[in-house]
Chains A and B, each alone.
Chain A
Amino acid sequence: QSVLTQPPSASGTPGQRVIISCSGSSSNIGSNPVSWYQQLPGTAPELLIYSNNQRPSGVPDRFSGSKSGTSASLAISGLQSEDETNYYCAAWDDSLNGYVFGPGTRVTVL
């Protein structure tokens, strides 16, 4: 069972905005930055958002992140077919001395 909570699925039509939530506690999201990872089938995860709302170079600005208290969210604007894959949130946990991940959210483009 994952320490962070994410919905198992989210969906939208092309061009729509999809939001994925991530809930944690004071020992992880509440006290450390949140990162988001995109994992295409059969490949390694890739960093999508870091420090709650920063995008690495090369990540389209359609992807944005936010954090408030012990929760965070990832928004995908202008949904495209290539966005259909799995997304994971993560944060360092001060009690566990390690990263904790959400269970992942599968985004489907209808």
Chain B
Amino acid sequence: EVQLVESGGGLVQPGGSLRLSCVASGFTVSSNYMSWVRQAPGKGLEWVSVIYADGSTYYADSVKGRFTISRDYFKNTLYLQMNSLRAEDTAVYYCARDPYFGSRLDVWGQGTTVTVSS
């Protein structure tokens, strides 16, 4: 079964750091384009970052310089390192698979909640 399972969310103070993980089963993370998408409470979906199959990475302007996307081939896991967190980063974070570059996000994880508050 093709599946994504996120973990690593939690409560963190402004300026703090968190690392989110997204474990894949049924397919290979490194062979796909993988994105992180977030949803603030009561708001819509916001794309955060992507890692291409060739390893290239891109970020939304709102997180550029603070977040880093990466992957581990052997663990078949996607990561999102989040530094210098702000209150506006509070959201449910989803990882998602893009099987054909820029075509669609066809598999989503269940989401992990990040709360930035003092």
Contact, CB under 8 Å: A33 / B109: no
Contact, CB under 8 Å: A46 / B102: no
Number of interface residues, chain B, beta carbon within 8 A: 22
Complex alpha-carbon distance, A96 and B46, angstroms: 13
Quick one: given A98-B50, A98-B58, A102-B44, are A50 and B103 in contact (CB under 8 Å)? yes
Q: B79 CB to closest chain A CB, in angstroms?
A: 18
Complex alpha-carbon distance, A37 and B104, angstroms: 10
Complex alpha-carbon distance, A85 and B9, angstroms: 26
Quick one: given A97-B58, A98-B58, A99-B37, are A47 and B106 in contact (CB under 8 Å)? yes
Q: A4 CB to closest chain B CB, in angstroms?
A: 10
Q: B63 CB to closest chain A CB, in angstroms?
A: 11
A residues 31-54 near B (Cβ < 8 Å) are 32-33, 35, 37, 39, 43-47, 50-51
Contact, CB under 8 Å: B45 / A33: no
Complex alpha-carbon distance, A101 and B37, angstroms: 10
